[in-house]
Amino acid sequence: MMRTSGFAVRGCRVAWTRGLAKPMTRGVLAMIGQPARDFSQGPLDKDAWLSRKGAWDDKDLGTLMNANNAWRERMKTANPNFFEYNKIGHDPKILWIGCSDARVPANEIIGEPAGSVFVHRNIANQVVSTDFNAMSVIQYAVQYLKVKHVIVCGHYDCGGVKAALTNLDHGAPLENWVRHIRDTCRLHQKELGAIEVL
Ligand SMILES: [Zn+2]
Nearest to 153 by CA among 189, 112, 188, 114: 112
Does 75 fall in a domain? yes
pLDDT in tens, the chain (198 residues): 333 333 333 333 333 333 333 333 333 344 444 444 566 666 777 776 776 655 555 668 888 899 999 999 999 999 999 999 999 999 999 999 999 999 999 999 999 999 999 999 999 999 999 999 999 999 999 999 999 999 999 999 999 999 999 999 999 999 999 999 999 999 999 998 998 876
Ligand 1 centroid–CA 119 distance in Å is: 15
From 26, 99, 120, 149, active-site residue: 99
103 catalytic, yes or no? yes
Residue 133 lies in a domain: yes
What CATH number is given to the structural domain containing 9? 3.40.1050.10
Q: Would you give the DSSP letter of residue 42?
A: S
198 inside domain: no
User: Based on the structure, what is the number of domains in the chain?
Assistant: 1
Residue 89, in any domain of the structure: yes
In a domain, 197, yes or no: no
| Confidence (pLDDT) at 47 | 74
Report the separation in Å between the CA atom of 126 and the middle of ligand 1, taken as the mean of its atom positions: 10
pTM exceeding 0.85: no
Q: Is 149 a catalytic residue?
A: no
Answer yes or no: is 185 within a domain. no
Tell me, yes or no, whether 57 lies in a domain. Answer: yes
Query: What domain range includes position 105?
Result: 4-157
